[in-house]
Amino acid sequence: MSIDELRQIQANFVKELEDADSGKQTSFPYILHELANASLVSDNEVFQVLVVGGSVFKSATLRGEDGKLVLLERAEKQQPRFNTKEDMLSFIESELDPQVKVIALNFAYPLKPIFENGRLDGILIKSMKENRFEGLIGEKLGKTIEDYFREKHHRDLTVSVGNDTICLLLSGLTKFTSHDIAGGIVGTGMNFALFLDKNKVVNLEAANFDKFPQTPAGKKIDKDSATPGNALFEKEISGAYLHQQFNLLIEQEGIAHAPLSSTFDLDAMTQSDDTQLANIARGLLDKSASFVACAIGGITLFKKKDMVFVMEGSLFWNASHYKERIKELLIELVPHYNVTFVKVEDSPIFGGAKLIS
């Protein structure tokens, strides 16, 4: 796509942000979260972060010392399926440090945020990822955990809950101020989040942005997907779909080649001795990077300042010339602002910690 076409997509992204911020309905769900005004833990108090939602469950105990977070102990294990409310509560019960009083839950499932009793909580909207959560849908997750421990163990807990995109954004607070950062995931899926002020953050659910020209392959994948009409931007960009686009294109061109099974394979294809296959793979990654640059540039123009993006996702960090292409495009798309990218070590843990500290 030409730089003028990308500028138009970026302008559309900015307009959607501005309209959503003024309360108008747009392609962005624009989910507002309110954060605690003050730390929920005392100085030097040990607290726990639980990261739930991927194939690997993570747990860590931390303590705040002189304004910094100190990681004391961490553990990982295979996460079980949660078929019922009781499954999840029993699992948390088994993993909880018996000494802690405050817990942060980084929960990578659809949540409706709610600010209550001085901390962020979330209402579970639906089941996902082969977890049915029977009895937990529609419940306030943090309050449910607090009530369970109070009734069963006569133990008072404070639980704050945030989803993975919000926690990624908050992890940037370990190095930068809220004024300077946004968060982005560009991997199997894609999304962005940003601060409105130090106590208000927005999960854009940017996968749903639709003010851009779909490619023929993107239209086909959307039509055949389980959710036609939804997440159109993500279906052009993310690792879950790019290799599918490659398979469609080589079929249309009548190219005899085994279908790819992952975007990791697509990235490897950019180095193929077959020039035609390599060019198709490079073109798809370039298109994806171009759309991501429009989103990042759009957020930067919306904020009207230099920005640091805390990024996560193997597509962004590992695909050949991917982030370099984004940087090249941003020089042209937002020439008056400087955009930098950082990766925060253990971002799910430290982002969760920032919900309460």
Residue 79: name the closest of 62, 95, 99 by CA.
95
CA distance 153 to 140: 20
Cβ atoms of 41 and 16 within 8 Å: the answer is no
List the beta strands (DSSP E) in the chain: 31-34, 46-52, 56-65, 68-78, 102-107, 111-116, 119-124, 158-162, 181-186, 190-197, 200-203, 307-312, 339-342
Provide the pLDDT for residue 218: 94
Topology at the third CATH level for domain 32-163+347-353: Nucleotidyltransferase; domain 5 (3.30.420)
pLDDT value of residue 66: 84
Q: What's the rounded mean pLDDT across residues 105-113? A: 93
Say which residue the tokens 């769900």 belong to: 29
Specify the DSSP class assigned to residue 132: -
Over 90: is that where the pLDDT of 226 sits? no
What pLDDT, on a 0 to 100 scale, did the predictor assign at position 172? 97
**Domain spans, the chain:** 3-31+175-342, 32-163+347-353
Residues 194-213 have pLDDT tens digits of 999 999 999 999 999 999 99
Q: Is residue 130 scored above 80 in pLDDT?
A: no
Cα distances (Å, whole numbers) of residue 338 to 290, 312, 331: 17, 19, 8
> What fold is seen in the domain 3-31+175-342?
Hexokinase; domain 1 (3.40.367)
Q: Is 71 left (phi over 0), alpha (psi -120 to 50) or beta?
A: beta
For 166-193, what is each residue's pLDDT tens digit? Answer: 999 999 999 999 999 999 999 999 999 9
Q: Which three-class secondary structure state does DSSP give residue 43?
A: coil
pLDDT in tens, 318-334: 999 999 999 999 999 99
- Percent of all residues in the chain with a pLDDT value above 90, rounded to a whole number: 92
pLDDT tens, 32-77?
999 999 999 998 999 999 999 877 899 999 999 888 899 999 999 9
Q: CB-based contacts of 69: which residues, under 8 Å, 6+ apart?
A: 62, 63, 174, 350, 353, 354, 357
